[in-house]
Amino acid sequence: TNAARNHSQIHPHKPPSIYYLGPFGITFTSPTTMKVVLCVAVALFGCSWAQRLQAQSYSNPNEIPIVKYVNENNYDGSYSYSYETGNGISVSETGQLKNPGQKDLEAQTAQGSFSYTAPDGTPITVTWYADETGFHAEGAHLPTP
């Protein structure tokens, strides 16, 4: 501005006492105030930009929603959980402690099922159980010995 230009001609070693930030129409009385305001503005802009990028990375139009979810854990070692998704996948499992307190006979057992639609449209369902004898699965699409 003219005032700053005239000041520097009269007092070449003393900075002007008024600083003008032209495009925004803001006037500052010290360079420190101007620096603080600019740093705050840059920080706010950076935060808003980062938030916008984060929001974009989490919005996925192909997300499949969880439409049902149950998870129960009991003190006796038994549990039950299940969920269903918006595209038809369903999973369920229950488990319990078999022969609790009997050192050589105690075993965790579980049983459950899952189902989904294969890419060719075939419905797939698997039922299974697991105990001290191992994992055992059955399904119409699985080969049998």
CA atoms within 13 A on the CB side of 52: 6
27 pLDDT exceeds 70? Answer: no
pLDDT band at 132 (very low <50, low <70, confident <90, very high): confident
Q: For the full predicted model, state whether its pTM sits above 0.75.
A: no
Element (H, E) at 67: strand 66-73
- The stretch 80-106 carries a mean pLDDT of 91
- Whether 79 maps to a domain, the answer reads yes
Distance CA 107, CA 121 (A): 38
Whether 78 and 131 share a structural domain: yes
What share of the chain in percent tops pLDDT 70?
63
Bin 121: left if φ > 0, else alpha if -120 < ψ < 50, else beta: left
Instruction: Please give the mean pLDDT across all residues of the chain.
Output: 78
Q: Are residues 79 and 46 in the same domain?
A: no
Position 127 scores a pLDDT of 95
Average pLDDT over residues 111-118: 95
10, 35, 58: which is the final residue of a domain?
58
Q: Do 48 and 12 share a structural domain? A: yes
C-alpha closest to that of 124 among 94, 89, 84, 82 = 89
For residue 129, what are the domain limits? 66-138
Q: Say yes or no: 72 and 37 in one domain.
A: no
Would you say residue 143 lies in a domain? Answer: no
Whether the per-residue pLDDT at 113 is higher than 80: the answer is yes
Element of type H or E holding 127: strand 123-131
Does 81 map to a domain? yes
Alpha helices in 87-138 (DSSP H): none
Q: Are 54 and 72 within one domain?
A: no
Whole-number Å distance between alpha carbons of 129 and 97: 13
How far is Cα 75 from Cα 77, in angstroms, rounded to an integer? 5
Residue 13 placed within a domain: yes
Residue 77 scores a pLDDT above 90: no
3-state secondary structure of 73: strand
Give the pLDDT score at 71.
Answer: 95
Asked whether residue 145 is assigned to any structural domain, the reply reads no
